[in-house]
Every structure is written in structure tokens, then in C-alpha cells.
Amino acid sequence: MEEYVVLVDEKDRKVGIEEKIKAHSNGGMLHRAFSIYIFDGRGRLMLQHRAGSKYHGGGLWTNTVCGHPRDGEANEEAAHRRLFEEMGFDCRVEEAFNTIYRTYVGNGLSENEFLHVFFGRYDRDPVPNPLEAQGFRWISLSELEKEIAERPELYSPWMRLILGKVIDARKKNSGQW
């Protein structure tokens, strides 16, 4: 079954839909996406170890969940859907910020996303779907920064790009997440 993404302009207004792989080819078309960062009560981030079979970023460590809302699907609704599909749980999430980024992700593919970033809290271990994630781990943001500085190739390009914004948003909302 082909998957589609919602193409948008720089203000996140829908301008069309496109098949997912085509939208990520040839430099990438700007499309709507989301990334979820789940923290526990100790302030640790749940990282996902992406399944090796993923169409890009396979085998890399990344934020808890990433995805694309379907045409007509609200971002938060899509976030809940993918949390369960990828990591086997659901929890309250709230949009922390949005940003636009573009980066090459390998295999001739690029991300060009209007990205909605959600934060949530969950105090148990997930049960990852092996088709999506080959594992998980909890890590402090300071330790994550150190690891990325030492071994950036182990982490997804999109997470490396926006980690500073995630840290800034966490500082602004430290009591909530």
C-alpha cells in the first residue's frame, strides 16, 4: 500500500499530497511531519533505535517517534496513532514548537519538513513494534548531547538538527515535561 504525505507551504497550509518516497526524493518536497519526544519523571528522553528495515535512517538512534499525518488527520491525532504503532503505548502529548528543516538522510532521500514537535511524559518502558524499532533506551539530554558530539553517525540527522531547539523548549517548560 502506498503512503502519502501532505505537501505544505512555509505557513503549513496544504498545497497537495504526494507519494511518500517521491516527496522525499530529488531534494525533498516541503511536507507536514511531526516528531515526538517522550520524557520520564526523571527528565530522561526515550530514544528509539530505528529498525534496520526503515526506508531511511534504519539502525539509527532517534527521538521517541516520528511520522507524517495522513491527509485530513490532525497532527496530534497522528502523533497518538504513531506512538502506539511504533512504541506500543499512548500518553498525553502537547505541541512544544514547530520548525522547518531540510537535510539529506541517505539512500538518495531528503527530508524537507514543516515539523510539529510534541512533548509528552511516560514513566514506563515501551513495547516497541519490531517492524518500526529494534529497541529503545532512556537518556538525559546532557548525555545525549555528549554522545552526538562524539558519534554523530549513530543518530538521525533530523534529531541532531533540532536537538538545540528541543533543549531550549524543555528549559522554557521544565515544570511541565
The answer for residues whose C-beta is within 8 angstroms of residue 151's C-beta and 6 or more apart is none
Q: Are 126 and 87 in contact (CB under 8 A)?
A: yes
The residue with cell 511516560 is: 122
CA 176, CA 48: separation in Å to the nearest integer? 22
The one catalytic residue in 3, 86, 94, 113 is 113
Q: Which of 66, 86, 111, 132 is catalytic?
A: 66
The verdict on whether 113 is a catalytic residue reads yes
Rounded Cα–Cα distance for residues 94 and 79 (Å):
10
- CA max distance for the chain: 42
Residue 70 gets which letter from DSSP?
A: P
Tell me, yes or no, if 91 is annotated catalytic: no
Residues 66, 35 contacting (CB under 8 angstroms): yes
Q: Which residues are catalytic?
A: 66, 113
